[in-house]
Amino acid sequence: MKPTVLDASALLAMFFGEPGMETMRDLFHKASEADRPVFISAVNWAEVLYRMERKHGKAGYDTARQFEHTTPLDAVPVDRELAEAAVLLKNEHGLGLADAFAAALAKNKKAELVTADHEFKVLEKEIKINWLK
C-alpha cells in the first residue's frame, strides 16, 4: 500500500456521509489490515476538528478524536521544513494555506493525496492525487 495523505475534505466526506465516504472507509480498512498509517497534517487535522465541532458540537469533536485514536490516522506535526514547503506551494500555485500543508506533506512522504477539493488540480503533475467522487 502506497503512503497516503488526506486533506480535510477527504476525512470530512467520510464523517459527513458525502460522496467518497465508501472510498475512505475502504482506505482505512486496508490501512488497518496492512498496519500502515494514513497521514494528515496537523493543520488539516485542526480543520477537521473545527468543522466537526461547528457542525455537531462537542459530540462531533469527540467523534473525530475517538476516530483518530482507534484508526491508523496519523496527524503529522508541522515543523519548519513542512511549513516552508507549504509556503512555496501556496505561493507558486495559489493554494489555500491548509491545502498547501496537505500538498507539502504528500510531496514530503512521496504519497498519494486523497481529496475531494478541486483546488489541488494545479498539482496533478507534481503529486499523485486520488479524487473522491
* pLDDT tens, position by position, 68-84: 999 999 999 999 999 99
Q: Tens of pLDDT along 91-107? A: 999 999 999 999 999 99
The 3-class SS string of the chain reads CCCEEECHHHHHHHHCCCCCHHHHHHHHHHHHHHCCCEEEEHHHHHHHHHHHHHHHHHHHHHHHHHHHHHCCEEEECCCHHHHHHHHHHHHHHCCCHHHHHHHHHHHHHCCEEEECCHHHHHHCCCCCEEECC
Count the Cβ atoms, other than its own, within 10 Å of residue 12.
Answer: 23
* Residues above pLDDT 90, as percent of the chain: 98
CATH number of 127's domain: 3.40.50.1010
**Chain-centre distance for alpha carbon 44:** 6
On average, the pLDDT of the chain sits at 97
**All residues at 6 or more sequence positions from 54 whose CB lies less than 8 Å from its CB, including other chains:** 60
Per-residue pLDDT at 1: 75
> pTM of the predicted model, to two decimals?
0.95
Of the candidates 71, 52, 57, the residue with the CA atom closest to the CA atom of residue 4: 71
Per-residue pLDDT at 83: 98
What domain range is 61 assigned to? 4-131
Number of domains in the chain: 1
Per-residue pLDDT at 106: 98
Cα separation of the two ends of the chain: 21
